[in-house]
Structure 1
């Protein structure tokens, strides 16, 4: 037993030695760090301040890099203490070795507490369905308290090149702390950030600035050249939902030995082409599959769709690339046999099948992170995903089968307008994926009311096209509470009544459009004594279901631009039948149309005494709304929410002895708004004057009177009515 225990201890100590190694610090000494705390005072309200961030990178003649990274973080509130309770660094173990040189805490009085041996571990960096060489070193330090300083340093040594004879990197200056437990991140203020790059003097190097105009200090010493960049007193970048990509805000220097993309095209062609070897042989299973898929098909798009649907249904997205580096795909035959593969594996099989069908197809490298930038004259591997590009006279296809719920062609809207590098073996080509337009991403809501006996029932049917279909198909398929999903999506369009029953097409069947239907029973009982009945819809409910505008921050609380990446069109078609055979449509009040620089909603209706079919079309474009513009958006959304009701009133035909029922105040206000919206200003003035006389204490009525007076040229009376409305507390 003692022997076994000693063996376990020895193994444990060896494991720790791989991720913890003593090394000299490249940062300031303890007394200097303590003195820097006073300079951090202007940033203390941000919770944490980077006193020093130092990166030292050396590139050898073999184009391999050695690097040391130093961080000193001053904690000024309890939230930051919690956020920095675990520290993480990631690396690709196929190409790099990484070690934590030291990690410790410096207290306010200068005491130093080193990280303990049992507070560090190395784990796989990716999710359960991805097995590769990415590793994550996680560690924690003692005495983590407000007022103390975290100080740590780690080193990385590149053991093999990614592309023989070439080197590239993106040099950053900010510290981005990911907070997976919050699904958030923080970018804290920084006193000093320095990057030093040392390369052989004869090594060609191309540099590009992004979000900065820094010029390096260049020093040549013998056979090496040193580049130094420094930034000081960087304020925090405060995160906010819906903000533009962080990459569009943080400064970076792109560096590369490659001033064009030919080397990357050659490199990946040498990895990719062998994966297609033997696909045309008579006994090839890939060829047999292609023959089966293309039997009877003559049109290119039909063949492409057949391949897409086969991969989606039969090849699971699993990444199995341990000891392969992350770039080498499996062969098409292996992917077919395994019935799984990651993005590059699936692309390999797709390209193989399409080429066997006589269709020109190529792998395309792309980055799924918004804000990625590529340069024509500087090549880097700034990619994390692969899709398929199908060259075509019709404009080409972009296929992505990595998502299980994406309908043909499967391309996520987050990739719209993104640059890709298409590997064709002829030098390659940078091609931008077309932008998504609102008409490419459509949700249609059909609301059909009906009378069954005396009960008013309704059916709401949602159908989709584009990214909204993929998102809601995925949401419905993987939600354990499908009734909750149906209520969330459908109920807002029926006055928030709960769905009685619901159904949906099979979300796993990507060949069938996803449709969600809900039945709403016994909404109302229309008894014989009812003489007037009205239908209404608050069209602003679409904001709750399809946008993030239903609960916006007030302008005073918006401090980042609002980034709307994916445009959308929402169509609402409502059918309102007459509740009686002898009824007439006594009032029709369409909601107000809005057209502004941010969005538009247009209403129309086909009306008769038997039925009303009301339509609304809402269009939201992709756009970035500055902080200054946000106040106008907030105002326009608020106005839409206040004036979004469509109202239609049916009345029974009154006999000679019957007295017509008086309209409610709400209905009279709606009638006044309709007269104004339709430009009947003289009639509106007479109507609102009578309405104001009978409702002197109603601010909204006074407001409408002010509008009517203004349109009739009575400016003094208009101003008087507006002041009366304000005095009564009406906000407009």
Structure 2
């Protein structure tokens, strides 16, 4: 009887768990009908202790996920990363499936370590790869891993939201007394996040908890996820041992002093005779400081291959200029080191500069830690003008910062105590332009013509990057057919000629002859011609149901001028009205003019905002649709 009773109790427990699991599965499917998986629990515990006069940081993370659809198997392969700063101490993974009404857990035993190496990026990051076996609808996974964080400046962000729903989150910090912290929060508005602080005799415990955070939709051409995902970043501002207080990240001044200390050795390096000789040769015909800096900058861009090396503090310390010069490769810090040395040889002063790309939405005043920047450049000042030299971006001239640092704060190191924070300017649309002038004639149903396109700014830089891979004339022709496409898919360039290819300062010019087949329609004695040949506003368009802001790489201008030669046997029966639209997002115009047997058509589009906020997308799309509607207008010709 006792044995039978235990069996009944066990079966009741199993069936109870099964019913509970099914109830949770059904409830979550109803709550999140479009989700394939749910993170049912995530916890992170960070322990900060003072050991031998230093801060010891341990971080343990737990993630549990429930799979709601048959696509679960696509998430079988998982990985986590670690590095010299984040030493992996422990990893545990398992998944639970329900088989014949019983839970069966399988522990992952096979973890494979792989170096994270790419063709242009080498670092000490390693990836631990593993596979959850036999994932299916209703499966639940469990992952636990722990880090020993070697530098207390690198406490990471904790995200309460993600691109999948999260039903429960907890962040806990257990902090020794004597360690002072601040907490930077981002995008927490509208979320039910509870914060508690518990003071104990030797420690203080900080805890954040949240529940039922919906998923955030990933969409192309959106600002980085940090701009929308709710997260908290703990910052160790200082710590006190035996009455002595050490500042870590209490202000930008603390961050800068640490950064400056990492560049002191390279600043004092004596340049090699070969480097000195090269600088003299590069600048021998220069008549001004501006010309010298421009010549040096272009030489580094053309001759030093970008390969990122991020190993421990090597990710923050520039290498010696002589080594970079000799090896002809380096990362952003190495390029800056070489530029610094070369300007110094030329009798000029450059300044090491730390900066975050547009992927990082933080300011130095908000977050005075290494999380605010991920890039290094060199700054040169000439009177009231500031020039931002980023040699990782080929073809950008001295007047043109790389596109991905536009609008970002730059931390400019003047000397051991002085620094400046300046904002990299956002280049106006007129600086990044394509102006295409065409002359076309009618040949049956086809349009034939010749054009001359002038490309400047970031649009020119992108052209040059594309042309680098065009190793034959056939490939180059195909590239220009895509870049300059007019009318429809039957557009074909027959020949082309380029001027100023790969030139840093002069506009890039492309002269070409083309044909557009079936570009004209004939009905009875009427002929319909649409001179809106460059209807490429699709790159600016977005879906109606978009949730996130729309981000562009840069502001730009497009101008297309077409002269249509009216055949002698035709006269104009209908000419569309001119169109103009000017709003906070862009301005656009279409104009028609008849003169000397020709119809002169001009279309102009100028983007005004690099980011269209989510709340403005409807208005933005409505305005863009007005332009697209104007594109549909056609000229009607009749036989004379």
Using the size of structure 2 for normalisation, the TM-score is 0.83
Residue pairs, 1:513-592, within 5 angstroms: 513-520=507-514, 536-538=530-532, 541-544=535-538, 547-549=539-541, 552-553=542-543, 555=544, 557-564=545-552, 566-577=554-565, 579=567, 588-589=575-576, 591-592=578-579
Name the SS of the counterpart of 1:351 in structure 2.
Answer: helix
Match of 1:287 among 276, 280, 299: 276
Residue pairs, 1:147-226, within 5 angstroms: 147-158=138-149, 160-161=150-151, 167-174=153-160, 176=162, 187-212=163-188, 216-226=195-205
Instruction: Give the whole-Å Cα distance in 1 for the aligned partners of 2:421 and 2:20.
Output: 48
Instruction: Give the whole-Å Cα distance in 2 for the aligned partners of 1:65 and 1:190.
Output: 26
Name the SS of the counterpart of 2:493 in structure 1.
Answer: coil
Residue pairs, 1:55-454, within 5 angstroms: 55-61=44-50, 62-82=54-74, 84-92=75-83, 94-108=84-98, 109=101, 111-118=103-110, 120-158=111-149, 160-161=150-151, 167-174=153-160, 176=162, 187-212=163-188, 216-256=195-235, 257=237, 258-279=249-270, 284-320=273-309, 322=311, 325-376=314-365, 378-382=367-371, 383-408=373-398, 411-424=401-414, 425-449=416-440
Instruction: Give the whole-Å Cα distance in 2 for the aligned partners of 1:521 and 1:39.
Output: 60
Between structure 1 and structure 2, the one with the greater Rg is 1
**Does 2:483 correspond to 1:489?**
yes
Instruction: Give the whole-Å Cα distance in 1 for the aligned partners of 2:197 and 2:377.
Output: 40
Residue in 2 aligned with 1:603?
590
Residue in 2 aligned with 1:478?
469
CA-CA distance at 1:142 after TM superposition: 0.9
CA-CA distance at 1:154 after TM superposition: 0.8
Alpha carbons of structure 1 residues 579 and 525: separation in structure 2 relative to 1, 3 Å:
farther
Q: Is the 8 A contact 1:591 1:646 kept in 2?
A: no
Instruction: Give the whole-Å Cα distance in 1 for the aligned partners of 2:19 and 2:385.
Output: 64
Alpha carbons of structure 1 residues 34 and 133: separation in structure 2 relative to 1, 3 Å:
farther
CA-CA distance at 1:157 after TM superposition: 0.9
Residue in 1 aligned with 2:3?
none
Residue in 2 aligned with 1:48?
37
Alpha carbons of structure 1 residues 284 and 278: separation in structure 2 relative to 1, 3 Å:
farther
Q: Is the 8 A contact 1:243 1:563 kept in 2?
A: yes
Instruction: Give the whole-Å Cα distance in 2 for the aligned partners of 1:358 and 1:413.
Output: 29
Larger mean Cα displacement after TM superposition, 206-215 or 189-198: 206-215
CA-CA distance at 1:260 after TM superposition: 0.9
Alpha carbons of structure 1 residues 129 and 561: separation in structure 2 relative to 1, 3 Å:
closer
Q: Is the 8 A contact 1:578 1:609 kept in 2?
A: no
Deviation by residue 1:103-134 (Cα, 9 ceiling, x = unmatched): 1101235634434433x211122412222212
Residue in 1 aligned with 2:10?
none
How many residue pairs end up in the alignment? 595
- Which runs of 5 or more structure 2 residues have no equivalent in the other structure? 1-16, 238-248
CA-CA distance at 1:328 after TM superposition: 1.7
Instruction: Give the whole-Å Cα distance in 1 for the aligned partners of 2:358 and 2:566.
Output: 52
Alpha carbons of structure 1 residues 587 and 32: separation in structure 2 relative to 1, 3 Å:
closer
Instruction: Give the whole-Å Cα distance in 2 for the aligned partners of 1:377 and 1:244.
Output: 19
Residue in 1 aligned with 2:14?
none
Name the SS of the counterpart of 2:216 in structure 1.
Answer: coil
Deviation by residue 1:59-83 (Cα, 9 ceiling, x = unmatched): 222123111111001011234541x
Q: Is the 8 A contact 1:266 1:427 kept in 2?
A: no
**Does 2:622 correspond to 1:631?**
no
Instruction: Give the whole-Å Cα distance in 2 for the aligned partners of 1:559 and 1:274.
Output: 49
Q: Report the RMSD for the aligned CA atoms in angstroms.
A: 3.6
Larger mean Cα displacement after TM superposition, 354-363 or 566-575: 354-363
Q: Which structure's residues are more often helix, by fraction?
A: 1
Alpha carbons of structure 1 residues 286 and 266: separation in structure 2 relative to 1, 3 Å:
farther
CA-CA distance at 1:591 after TM superposition: 4.4
Deviation by residue 1:206-228 (Cα, 9 ceiling, x = unmatched): 22221126573112233222211
Q: Is the 8 A contact 1:563 1:624 kept in 2?
A: yes
CA-CA distance at 1:367 after TM superposition: 2.4
Alpha carbons of structure 1 residues 414 and 105: separation in structure 2 relative to 1, 3 Å:
same
Q: Is the 8 A contact 2:364 2:409 kept in 1?
A: no
Instruction: Give the whole-Å Cα distance in 1 for the aligned partners of 2:28 and 2:420.
Output: 47
CA-CA distance at 1:381 after TM superposition: 0.1
Instruction: Give the whole-Å Cα distance in 2 for the aligned partners of 1:324 and 1:379.
Output: 18
Deviation by residue 1:442-480 (Cα, 9 ceiling, x = unmatched): 12122133699xx97412333222222222322333367
Using the size of structure 1 for normalisation, the TM-score is 0.73
Name the SS of the counterpart of 2:382 in structure 1.
Answer: coil
Deviation by residue 1:404-459 (Cα, 9 ceiling, x = unmatched): 3545456332321122322333243332211232222212122133699xx97412
Alpha carbons of structure 1 residues 433 and 112: separation in structure 2 relative to 1, 3 Å:
farther
Larger mean Cα displacement after TM superposition, 264-273 or 140-149: 264-273
